[in-house]
Amino acid sequence: MVATPPRDVQTVPIATDTWVLRSRSWQRLRFEMEYALERGTTANSYLIYGDKITLMDPPGETFTELFLTELQRHVALDQITYVILGHINPNRVATLARLWQLAPQVTFVCSNPGDQTLRSLLAQRLPELTAQRPPQTLVIRGEETLDIGRGHVLELIPIPTPRFPNGLATFDPSTGLLFCGKFFSAHRCSDQVFDEGWEALQEDYRYYFDCIHAPQVRQVEQVLERLGRWRATCYANGHGSLVRYHVPELTYLYRLWCERQSGYDLTVALLYASAYGNTATLAQAMGRGLTKGGVRVESLNCEFASPEEIRQVVSQAQGIILGSPTLGGHAPTQMQTALGIVLEQAPRTVLVGVFGSYGWSGEAVDLLAGRLRDAGFPFGFEPIRVKFAPTDADLQRCEQTGTDFAQALRQKQRRQVARPTDAQAARAEQAMGRIVGPLCVLAARRGELTSGMLASWVSQATFNPPGITVAVAKDRAVESLLHVGDRFVLNILPEGSTLPRHFLKPFAPGEDRFAGVATTTTADGCPILTDALAYLHCQVAQRMECGDHWVIYAVVDEGKVLNPSGITAVHHRKSGNHY
């Protein structure tokens, strides 16, 4: 039996008349399955004591009863006038339905797409009640204000993105708080309400951006432009520590990260629909892999995108990936429309792929793939079909598939574009190739996921504590398992070993890289190669982004020489522009 993560609600005043209720889990939750770091999370809700008491963003069903119990310690439910919803999904509607039953007088404030989603989800969960009395909603179609009294005139700002089409931000000029939901967030659980100790938090904010926002940077840039018109002194976000002391720094970093993604010269159109959120989760993992592979992702949720938006994205893409659930044995109408646009407009040389989730059949994936094959499009991967909710392994497979798809596009580009010859650059590459390093196999494990790679850019870095550095390309599958706090084994290979040949071969997404290789494991499950010369068991202490690689600094916990008479294998290269 899996232990239930410890949970509680931390309630703290943060500004005049304003409190945050941080529903906390110290382990990763199911709703953040696509988010690989396991540092727990907080679901931040907010309570404003105006003349009309206003609640913002109640958490998902993991916290329903815990949250409502804590909420009633601070306010009687029949006194709440407004519930502002910055984001609505099937997970959150469990708490909204319970709250609506207990406080039928509340008015839900949401965007127009949010209103449609809310009514649909409540009707599924409470069909009899919604038939008797539909929920009261205040629909925000543009930038509007809401006066809740006591000087709090809230400014409501729709901020739709493909991942969060019903996004809505709220600014309170009287306190300077910008309630920004999925923006400027991080999945990290702690007692720390605000962003003290900025250096220790930056990796979490960056990783959240890479996982959640990198596949939708065009829309993120539009949101940043819109939110920039309000002078926020604190980002009251949806997850993690609130950003009070480093608002300019995090805003700048978001713009910088967007610019880096926008600067890629290859674009993949990631078009999907999602009936219950499962296909969207797969799309998020696919997008994460694509961005790791160094391509720009134009992500569109076709349930909310117009045909003209789809045409524009398709016309600029060098690769197209379609994701669809199966409803009644068919693809949703929106995905059939998207498919028609692709067939009509995309050149037959564009690389394509298809994925989707399903409950009982899964015909939609086969339908889309069949039509694309019949039209003569080349496929970057075999269609992926996932039954019900995706597992960690499913998401790892999708992420690695996205990375492989990006690499295939890059190889295609290199074949089409001749590289200019520069004698001076060639000489520098030859000189760099003379830098040698030991041949090693880096092996990492987190939870049920295991991965590894052949590494030669390795060096001892410190005496005290004993530490090493290893450079890991951003598109390596194992990179996702090498964040601060993660552990791995560096297996140092002996001269004459045949293991490099095994780890140099191409692996399918999700394939076990250690199948057929003699191994033992450390206490935390990291593979030790039996035929290694020696091994070091390490913990990641720092990461530094360097061009197309991450430089990982790790402290050595333990090590052992397995073959005292062996000699370390060394990697000699003729050029410094490849391994």
**CATH number of domain containing 546:** 2.30.110.10
In a domain, 427, yes or no: no
Single residue among 223, 239, 260 that ends a domain in this structure: 260
Q: Same structural domain for residues 407 and 453?
A: no
Question: Is the CB of residue 445 less than 8 Å from the CB of residue 526?
Answer: yes
In a domain, 578, yes or no: no
Q: Same structural domain for residues 114 and 218?
A: yes
Specify the number of domains making up the chain: 3
Q: Same structural domain for residues 32 and 164?
A: yes
Q: Where are the alpha helices (DSSP H) in 52-182?
A: 64-71, 90-102, 112-125, 127-132
Going by C-alpha positions, the residue among 206, 205, 239 that lies closest to residue 42 is 239
- Domain with 223 in it: what CATH number? 3.60.15.10
Going by C-alpha positions, the residue among 293, 216, 212 that lies closest to residue 548 is 293
In a domain, 392, yes or no: yes
Q: Give pLDDT tens digits for 353-372.
A: 999 999 888 899 999 999 99
In a domain, 453, yes or no: yes
Q: Same structural domain for residues 315 and 230?
A: no
Going by C-alpha positions, the residue among 527, 534, 526, 522 that lies closest to residue 566 is 534
Q: At residue 390, what are phi and psi to the nearest 5 degrees?
A: -70, 150
Query: How high is the pLDDT of residue 42?
Result: 94
Pairing, β 534-546 against β 467-473: unpaired
Question: Is the CB of residue 220 less than 8 Å from the CB of residue 169?
Answer: no
- Domain with 360 in it: what CATH number? 3.40.50.360
Pairing, β 351-358 against β 319-323: parallel
Q: Same structural domain for residues 126 and 46?
A: yes
Single residue among 229, 260, 291 that ends a domain in this structure: 260
The domain of 410 spans 264-415
Q: Same structural domain for residues 147 and 45?
A: yes
Alpha-carbon radius of gyration of the chain: 25
The count of other CB atoms within 10 Å of the CB of residue 22 is 25
Q: Same structural domain for residues 545 and 500?
A: yes
Q: Same structural domain for residues 146 and 29?
A: yes
Query: How high is the pLDDT of residue 147?
Result: 98
Q: Same structural domain for residues 400 and 505?
A: no
In a domain, 189, yes or no: yes
Name residues of the chain where pLDDT drops below 50. 1-2, 30-35
Q: Same structural domain for residues 181 and 288?
A: no
Q: Say if residue 555 is exposed, middle or buried (CB neighbours under 10 Å; 0-12, 13-18, 19+).
A: middle
- 3-state SS class at 572: coil
Q: Same structural domain for residues 381 and 457?
A: no
**DSSP H or E segment with residue 353:** strand 351-358
Q: Same structural domain for residues 393 and 511?
A: no
Single residue among 216, 242, 260 that ends a domain in this structure: 260
Query: How high is the pLDDT of residue 2?
Result: 46
Instruction: State which amino acid sits at residue 144.
Output: E
First-residue to last-residue Cα distance in the chain = 45
In a domain, 54, yes or no: yes
Across 77-103, b (16+ Cβ under 10 Å) vs e yields: beebbbbbbbbbbbbbbbbbbbbbeeb
